[in-house]
Chain A
Amino acid sequence: MFGNGNGNGETPRKIAIICSKGSLDMAYPGLILANAARMMGIEAVLFFTFWGMDIITKKHVDKLHAGIVGNPATHMPAMLAGLPGMETLATKMMKKKIEEIDIPSIHELLEILDASGAEMYACRMAMDMFDLENEDLVEEVHEVIGAMDFFEKAEGAQTIFI
């Protein structure tokens, strides 16, 4: 009951997060934020579109990579980031660190979100664009919907685009 973020019965809160990127470093923020919202009783709706489809496709969910090319925050020379094997190495390092500090994998986070009652939707247009069928998606996805349906689901929510 309440679902207002602090359990004292004021106006219910809701967030809608659009996940449009499929790299490891862009997948985590949306999922962690949605989970944090659920943990404090805020309703959460997630809409996966474009490259964000990788987060919810069976084939890619366990194989997301850290995006390092064109990212100055990696603190390495831009030329180096593009060398063969660098991205794999960076991904390996990031995943190791994530495990060390006991953050769940992307797939486990999707399971946690599902158990928490967060609603997860896939974008119909992105499904067509990437030739995806319903059976290609992880089972935590509720439904494939269009952009207008998303706005209906997100009514009254604070919306975050990632």
Chain B
Amino acid sequence: MSTATFAGQTLNVDADGFLADANDWTPEIAEAIASDVGIDLTDRHWTVINFCRKDNEEMGTAPGVRRITKATDVSMKEMYQLFPGGPGVLAAKISGLTKPKGCV
């Protein structure tokens, strides 16, 4: 297991830099991960992140992009504008979760 430093905290991460433990996550860490992938978090990002955190708690797994668009008012197109490097992986990564397992 490798480690990475976000917002001054050294945390365990997987091979792709996703937090190993979702409980390590804080909003400050989200800002730090986002900044590492070139994203400045806005209220719209937070709509997505808050849903991802809540859904992961309820379902035990990070939601896929389509699930996020169905449960929030963020459209598919907007998801790609918010997370241009790939909303499927980046929404989960910034939310401190593992990669979504689903295909959509």
Contact of A3 (CB < 8 Å), options: B16, B84, B88, B100: B84
Is A117 engaged at the interface, CB distance under 8 Å to the other chain? yes
A115, B83: Cα distance in complex, Å:
13
Interface window among B20-28, B51-59, B74-82: B74-82
Output the nearest chain A residue to B91 by Cβ-Cβ distance. Answer: A39
B80 and A116 contacting across the interface, CB-CB below 8 Å = yes
Contacts of B93 in A (CB 8 A): 7
A95, B82: Cα distance in complex, Å:
32
Q: What count of chain A residues pass the 8 Å CB interface test?
A: 26
Is B49 engaged at the interface, CB distance under 8 Å to the other chain? no
A36 and B103 contacting across the interface, CB-CB below 8 Å = yes
A112 and B66 contacting across the interface, CB-CB below 8 Å = yes
Contact of B86 (CB < 8 Å), options: A9, A42, A103: A42
A112/B104 contact (C-beta < 8 A), A7-B37, A7-B93 known: yes
Is A65 engaged at the interface, CB distance under 8 Å to the other chain? no
A42 to chain B, nearest CB (A): 7
A107 to chain B, nearest CB (A): 14
A117, B77: Cα distance in complex, Å:
8
A13 to chain B, nearest CB (A): 10
A39/B85 contact (C-beta < 8 A), A2-B37, A115-B80, A116-B80 known: no
B87 and A115 contacting across the interface, CB-CB below 8 Å = no
Contact count A vs B, C-beta below 8 Å: 71
Is A5 engaged at the interface, CB distance under 8 Å to the other chain? yes
CB 8 Å contact bits of A34-46 with B (1 = contact, 0 = none): 0110111110000
Contacts of B104 in A (CB 8 A): 32, 35, 102-104, 109, 112
B86 and A41 contacting across the interface, CB-CB below 8 Å = yes
Contacts of B96 in A (CB 8 A): none
Contacts of B103 in A (CB 8 A): 32, 35-36, 103
Given A6-B86, A38-B88, A115-B75, 14 other A-B contacts at CB below 8 A?
Answer: A1-B37, A8-B16, A38-B80, A39-B86, A40-B86, A40-B89, A41-B85, A41-B86, A42-B86, A104-B104, A111-B76, A115-B76, A116-B76, A116-B80
Closest 4 CB pairs of A and B: A39-B88, A41-B86, A115-B76, A2-B85
